[in-house]
Copies of this chain bind each other. A is one copy, B any other.
Amino acid sequence: MERLEVRELVYFTAVAEELHFGRAAARLGMAQPPLSRAVQQLERRLGVTLLDRSSRRVALTEAGAVLLRESRRVLDAASAAARRTRRAGRADPCLVLAVKPGGDGGLLPAILDAYQAEPGALPVELVWGFGEREVLLREGHVDAALLHRPHPDLTGLDTQDLLTETQLLVMPRSHRLAGRTRVCLNDLAGEPLPRRPGASEGGSHGPEVHDLGQLLHLIALRRMVAVLPSSIRGQLRDDLVAVPVDDAEPTTLVLAWPEHATSPALAAFVRAATAVAGSATGHGG
């Protein structure tokens, strides 16, 4: 059984994504002939043709499509391995948490306090991200992330539900819906909504947004509106209003971490977060 090397998978992935050996080679910073040879060799070793190449067009075969998907998993796992190992070896151990600005449901201060009270708590470093927190987690940039269900794909992650919230439509005071006490999703037809990074271009979407302040600013500028968990209430500028969206699916704040994680520091953090969420459940909305 031949062994598959990371380098080969990187090369194949580049070609499979570009469907063009020249461009793939450029992207890899190498010449085209060795790239062609590497892919051929990979095909020979696997005993499978991965690409149909007619000197005018390159296309993935069925097996090639399988390998592309599997390669991404391998490469993700490899870079996650490197990053997690490096982080574990740092002289100053700390716990890295990915949070969406304004997306902590107001629980984060209490969670951090509770965690620092745990025995053996490490300093917590926060990484701010919008849509890419799940990727940060999968690729080993962070130890844990606060995500919002139902949006991200949680397979391969362990999770702890923290808080379920209804959602609000946030808009400028002058907006046509600003006087309503409640709206439903149909009312939003045609409204520019923030684009989730990586989301398809369908529908009416505004510019990509990476920061809560920027988002609120854009809303105030009437460039868009947004549907957000009700806990942002406390962070709104006074030129914005928020009303419940009746039929928007409630969103659940979840703490997620890589499955099979063994770090005691992470375990303590999960304990702390769970405790805080549990005690908060009765009170707020």
Contact = CB atoms under 8 A, between A and B. Distances in A.
A69 B6 contact: no
Interface in A28-78: 46-50, 61-63, 65-67, 69-71, 73-74, 77-78
Given A49-B89, A82-B46, A86-B47, A73 B66 contact: no
A262 interface: yes
A3 interface: yes
A2 B82 contact: yes
A85 B48 contact: yes
B46 A85 contact: yes
27 contacts: A2-B82, A4-B78, A4-B81, A4-B82, A6-B6, A9-B78, A46-B85, A48-B88, A49-B89, A50-B85, A50-B89, A61-B89, A63-B86, A63-B88, A65-B88, A66-B85, A66-B88, A69-B260, A70-B77, A70-B81, A71-B81, A73-B81, A74-B77, A155-B156, A155-B158, A155-B259, A156-B156
A283 interface: no
Determine the interface band of chain A, counting residues with CB < 8 A from chain B: 35 or more
Interface of A: 1-7, 9-10, 46-50, 61-63, 65-67, 69-71, 73-74, 77-82, 84-86, 88-89, 140, 155-156, 158, 259-260, 262
A9 to B, nearest CB: 7
B89 A70 contact: no
A188 to B, nearest CB: 31
Given A61-B89, A155-B156, A66 B78 contact: no
B155 A260 contact: yes
A90 to B, nearest CB: 8
Contacts of A9: 78, 81
A259 B138 CA distance: 15
A4 B81 CA distance: 8
B73 A77 contact: yes
A156 B86 contact: no
A7 B4 contact: no
B6 A4 contact: yes
